[in-house]
Structure 1
């Protein structure tokens, strides 16, 4: 007769370890997303309705675009707190430039639309270039620099509008970009897919993408290897500013006016959350934009579910904060676990 010694709490501890191993293998994100989708669909008949699904995908597209730029900055070892303010500035600049061009030029709307979009993108790229130069040239912390530009950029947007929405844009801009659909889906979804695919290609197939990983992983080693640190750091911030401006333009077309209240702190925080939940390490050097895009979809689904379930809006940031803490803790645990192997 043989006996098997069992430590107190052994079976429970083993099952808990098995669950943790499963989460580390499959990933926290798919597990959480499945729980939210299944739970909400059982509690609300409207969650899987076609209009709600389209709305979720549209809003997730905006967040995915801005989170891809944020992810590149974090992978390089930085932060971009100005993305929400850039969204607002691009919205205001696009609307004002487009309205002014339409009034001055007249004729076909296409020329005014092109001028407005170019001005909006230019404003985002300019903010990104300023951020990048301050970080790369002056050696100032990206957190501090972008915190300052966030305040300054938001102030410029308010100064240009006095807090009043800007109208007068060509109807073609609103109809073609903000309201049009292809195969039943808004144009913003296709733009987001194109951005994610392009960014994934940049990460995997270009020297820029590889050098960004190298800079974030070990900047000293990257310098020894001959990588131009300054140029690539500036490039990540310019990219982030350009993508944030793209979201500003898309939101302007959706709401039909330029507003200095678009974006803001909420979009900045959500872009960082999407990057962190999507596996981007806050220490730099790790992360994939396609996973970040999935994280953006998850956050949008979560926010939509909380609204449908009539959860107090003041409690919703608590859920987001807890998920971020859990994601960071899991990332740190995974790092320590791998280092022991």
Structure 2
């Protein structure tokens, strides 16, 4: 019976999240059509590229966040990890450029590995504290968010870090392939990989099962600790990857990247994309669509000259509405 319950919990994630796929594209199309009519600047080539690039950054972070939430957790540290990976990668590249002049490939590899390593380290700390110490993911990641932000500021003293190879900035961060930024292809590739992970691997199925019913997963022999740690490590790596992409685009490592805004937007993208805050439900491809929707919404508010202080109000309202719809839907199913 327990193995049957485990399979049911793992299978209900994609099925339940699929219900969200209906209204989100409708909202997305309505927003695009409305903005096309309201502002001619909206469909300008440069604006479209900016939207796609920013949506790619948010998608990458939201993919990791979604996996953590599906497993029943939270990762509030993603914004701080974006900033930490940025400054670590930039610092290491600057140092490596002096040590290995002219060897851009080695310099970029060293910086990229260092940046990803910083994200992996934060994710590992988060996962171990949650799984072994049994501390709330909310509390743990709130603490690591503060600590990580402090480390990033200490490394840079609040000053942007320069000295990266031009091939990293111009040849990668600002490059385009077939008219689209490199970040778009990276985000699409990661979405496809995570779709495969969720649907075709034991790790993906066990993450659904853990979020849906941890007790049944334990009785069925699932290693809760290992898979929970895995979700937080994924979240840290994806956030670090976004930080490195930001660094390549801007041409400097900055401790101001990410922050609370990226954290809130990644959670919003997951929730609006149908990831249940109760765990066990959510599909990464819908989260990607949600990230695009939020990016376009932010761009629309800017084009309409909405006060930047009011813009978080729209995000908060949408998040509350998404959670309320999910709760009403759950209660209706329980009554039936």
Indicate whether the TM-score tops 0.5.
yes
CA contact (8 A) 2:92 2:111 kept: yes
CA distance in 1, matches of 2:264, 2:246: 18
Partner of 2:74: 79
Give the TM-score of the pair, scaled to structure 1: 0.92
1:252 paired to 2:247: yes
CA distance in 2, matches of 1:105, 1:58: 31
CA distance in 2, matches of 1:69, 1:85: 14
CA contact (8 A) 1:28 1:327 kept: no
1:276 paired to 2:271: yes
Report 1:1-341 matches (<5 A).
27-341=22-336
Q: CA deviation at 1:336?
A: 1.8
Cα-to-partner distance string for 1:39-75 (whole Å, 9 max, x where unaligned): 2111101111121111101100000000000000000
Q: CA deviation at 1:243?
A: 0.2
Q: Which structure has the bigger radius of gyration? A: 1
CA distance in 2, matches of 1:323, 1:116: 37
SS at match of 1:339: helix
Partner of 1:7: none
Cα-to-partner distance string for 1:211-268 (whole Å, 9 max, x where unaligned): 0000000000000000000000000000000000000000000000000000000000
SS at match of 1:47: helix
CA contact (8 A) 2:21 2:286 kept: no
Cα-to-partner distance string for 1:126-179 (whole Å, 9 max, x where unaligned): 000000000001000000000000000000000000000000111111122211
CA distance in 1, matches of 2:20, 2:171: 43
Structure 1, unmatched stretches of 5+, are: 1-23
CA contact (8 A) 2:20 2:273 kept: no
Q: CA deviation at 1:25?
A: 7.6
CA distance in 2, matches of 1:184, 1:332: 42
SS at match of 1:64: helix
Q: CA deviation at 1:38?
A: 1.7
How many pairs align? 318
CA distance in 2, matches of 1:118, 1:176: 18
Cα-to-partner distance string for 1:111-130 (whole Å, 9 max, x where unaligned): 01100000000000000000
Q: CA deviation at 1:26?
A: 6.2
Structure 2, unmatched stretches of 5+, are: 1-18
